[in-house]
């Protein structure tokens, strides 16, 4: 009997500890941060989670989704089959989450919401990166177009099939609204409340603003890292970029004998740190100047998360360099050409005969055949898309 009472007391203490931790976390947030205690809720009401916040539940649902797992085999810049060490959409999303969470913590924002948005922001991306998205958008032009950001929301609202009571992941309103980074007026009118800020000219919450810039910091720097690793750009070329040269010189001064991968890693590491520190200082300055007292103040203000003018210029020069030297490199363009062809041909094959779609997509294609096809193609990994293309175009391939 004594042993039973002891176990019960321990259990109560553990529960109290978890509840206290959650409450303390919410109390530590800045007044302009999003709190899970005043979330606008979910499309389908659910009992509040125990021992974690609402946004932790969102994050966990995203991590356990099929769409998140598929990101491991989706292109960032280099097609997944080109090498095991290049970034994929999955590793990119993890890097974005790490950077975004660190920034949010320093600004007193909601780390769990930031992390959930960072991990979900690419769930709707096509195979083959932006080449796949551009090709699918062209195919879908007469049918409302395709944008991976809108598709990410579609994934978490409708396409994931895990729970007994609803389609999608049933995420909190604030997570869904923050995933929606871009939205045209016609699309916003169709989406309703979650896209209302695009019609009323309100800014995203600070957690979403942080994630947007963490995304930019991550992809610029890991693209230059992967570009150097691949040999498509050289260290001499990269050294012509002021931001890269600044940190390259610093590393060489501190470590005169450093070379190879260590030199590149230390340089990129320095750039990321400089961008994050600048963003923190500039964002703190803007917040102190504006003095928001609640989330509503944030959404009515000018953008509060950003780089200083000097760093914004340096970062822009890095983006211009990557566009010219890497994204328009002839080998990348060749891969882009093949990727576009695979996506376009798949789309037209299925439009010609929707019965070729897998049953779960064909069954709901009657209402909107093009959108069902887009859902199917967007959910493919690089290698699945290539294999499906072969199955449909090459005799003898099963």
Model pLDDT for residues 7-51, shown as the tens digit of each residue: 344 444 444 455 555 656 677 899 999 998 889 999 999 999 988
pTM beyond cutoff 0.85: yes
What pLDDT does residue 255 have? 96
Alpha carbon distance 177, 181 (integer Å):
8
What is the DSSP secondary structure assignment for residue 172, as one 8-state letter?
B
Cβ neighbours of residue 245 closer than 8 Å, sequence gap 6 or more: 239
Alpha carbon distance 151, 146 (integer Å):
8
**pLDDT tens digits for range 312-360:** 999 999 999 999 999 999 988 898 899 999 999 999 999 999 999 998 8
* Total residue length of the chain: 398
Please say if the pLDDT value at position 85 is more than 70: no
Mean pLDDT (the chain, rounded) = 90
Buried/exposed 140-153: b ≥16 CB within 10 Å, e otherwise: beeeebbbbbbbbb
Alpha carbon distance 371, 139 (integer Å):
11
Alpha carbon distance 228, 208 (integer Å):
30
Greatest C-alpha distance within the chain: 76
What pLDDT does residue 84 have? 47
Cβ neighbours of residue 30 closer than 8 Å, sequence gap 6 or more: 107, 108, 109
Q: What are the angstrom distances between the C-alpha of 69 and each of 125, 179, 278, 293, 381?
A: 12, 18, 33, 38, 10
Other CB atoms within 10 Å distance of the CB of residue 277: 13
């Amino acid at each position: 009997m004594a042993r039973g009472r002891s176990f019960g007391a321990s259990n109560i203490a553990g529960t109290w500890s978890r509840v206290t931790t959650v409450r303390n976390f919410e109390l530590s947030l800045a007044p302009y941060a999003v709190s899970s205690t005043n979330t606008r809720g979910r499309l389908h009401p659910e009992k509040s989670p125990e021992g974690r916040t609402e946004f932790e539940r969102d994050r966990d649902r995203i991590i356990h989704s099929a769409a998140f797992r598929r990101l491991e085999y989706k292109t960032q810049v280099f097609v997944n089959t080109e090498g095991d060490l290049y970034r994929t959409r999955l590793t990119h999303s993890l890097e974005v989450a790490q950077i975004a969470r660190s920034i949010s913590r320093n600004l007193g924002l909601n780390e769990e919401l930031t992390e959930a948005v960072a991990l979900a922001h690419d769930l709707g991306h096509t195979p083959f990166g932006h080449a796949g998205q551009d090709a699918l958008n062209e195919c879908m032009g007469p049918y409302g177009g395709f944008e991976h950001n809108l598709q990410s929301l579609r994934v978490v609202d409708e396409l994931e099939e895990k729970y007994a009571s609803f389609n999608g992941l049933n995420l909190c309103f604030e997570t869904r609204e923050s995933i929606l980074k871009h939205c045209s007026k016609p699309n916003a009118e169709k989406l309703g409340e979650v896209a209302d800020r695009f019609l009323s000219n309100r800014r995203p919450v600070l957690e979403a603003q942080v994630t947007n810039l963490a995304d930019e910091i991550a992809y610029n720097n890991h693209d230059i890292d992967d570009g150097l690793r691949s040999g498509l750009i050289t260290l001499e070329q990269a050294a012509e970029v002021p931001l890269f040269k600044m940190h390259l010189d610093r590393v060489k001064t501190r470590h005169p004998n450093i070379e190879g991968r260590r030199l590149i890693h230390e340089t990129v590491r320095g750039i990321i740190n400089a961008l994050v520190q600048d963003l923190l200082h500039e964002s703190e300055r803007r917040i102190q100047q504006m003095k928001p007292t609640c989330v509503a103040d944030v959404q009515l203000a000018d953008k509060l998360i950003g780089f200083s003018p000097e760093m914004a210029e340096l970062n822009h020069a890095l983006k211009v360099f990557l566009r010219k030297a890497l994204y328009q490199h002839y080998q990348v363009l060749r891969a882009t050409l093949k990727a576009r062809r695979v996506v376009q041909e798949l789309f037209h094959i299925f439009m010609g005969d929707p019965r070729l779609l897998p049953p779960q997509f064909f069954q709901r294609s009657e209402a909107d055949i093009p959108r069902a096809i887009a859902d199917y193609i967007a959910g493919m990994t690089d290698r699945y898309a290539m294999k499906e293309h072969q199955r449909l175009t090459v005799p003898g391939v099963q």
